[in-house]
């Protein structure tokens, strides 16, 4: 019987990394490589409008540039926001903008697209990612997540 195990493929062939992410969200991030092409990424931090947010993505990595240094990834994810949220909404019937504050828990899905940069045999990766965040509860809405970050693989 032949068992084919795919080795995880983070920087320096390590499968767990942690770091910081700047943008939306802003906070801490981890990444666990499940296979050479797939990883689970998670984050906890502040959203642009001030609420605490946690989330995770299942990422599919691919070598679009035929490079050992720069690779792309994409995948679905989920986000949960807690606490006070702030924002600006536009009212068509009164033709003006309003400021709102809210103390609800929000749930959203997202599809993230990104670029991973792993310089040589360095034990870290730099990533840039963006994608739509689609709110599903308590209200339906669309936002854009965009961030840059770094993860170290000890």
Residue 119's CATH number: 2.40.160.20
Q: Could you give the number of structural domains in the chain? A: 1
pLDDT tens per residue, range 61-84 = 999 999 989 999 999 999 998 876
In a domain, 138, yes or no: yes
Looking at 23-32, 100-109, 142-151, which range is the least confident one? 100-109
What is the 8-class DSSP label of residue 8? Answer: P
Instruction: Considering only the C-alpha atoms of the chain, give the largest distance between any 2 of them, rounded to a whole number of Å.
Output: 71
In a domain, 5, yes or no: no
Residue 149, C-beta contacts closer than 8 angstroms, at least 6 positions apart? 19, 20, 21, 22, 23, 29, 126, 127
In a domain, 123, yes or no: yes
In a domain, 110, yes or no: yes
pLDDT score recorded for residue 139:
75
Q: What is the pTM of this model?
A: 0.83
In a domain, 4, yes or no: no
Say whether pLDDT at 2 is over 50.
no
In a domain, 6, yes or no: no
Domain that holds residue 144: 15-152
Q: How confident is the model at residue 16 (pLDDT cuts 50, 70, 90)?
A: very high
pLDDT score recorded for residue 137:
83
State the sign of the Cα–Cα–Cα–Cα dihedral 103, 28, 128, 62.
negative
Rg value, the chain, Cα: 18
In a domain, 82, yes or no: yes
Q: How confident is the model at residue 5 (pLDDT cuts 50, 70, 90)?
A: very low
In a domain, 48, yes or no: yes
């Amino acid at each position: 019987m032949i068992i084919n195990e795919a080795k995880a493929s983070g920087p320096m062939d390590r499968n767990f990394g942690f770091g910081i992410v700047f943008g939306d969200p802003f906070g801490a991030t981890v990444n666990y490589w499940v296979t050479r092409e797939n990883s689970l990424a998670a984050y906890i931090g502040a959203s642009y409008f001030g609420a605490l947010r946690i989330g995770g993505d299942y990422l599919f990595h691919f070598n679009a540039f035929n490079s050992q240094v720069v690779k792309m990834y994409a995948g679905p994810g989920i986000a949960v926001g807690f606490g006070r949220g702030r924002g600006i909404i536009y009212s068509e019937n009164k033709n003006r903008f309003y400021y709102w504050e809210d103390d609800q828990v929000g749930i959203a899905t997202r599809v993230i697209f990104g670029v991973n940069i792993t310089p040589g045999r360095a034990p870290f990766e730099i990533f840039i990612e963006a994608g739509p965040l689609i709110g599903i509860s308590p209200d339906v809405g669309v936002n854009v997540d965009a961030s840059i970050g770094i993860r170290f693989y000890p």
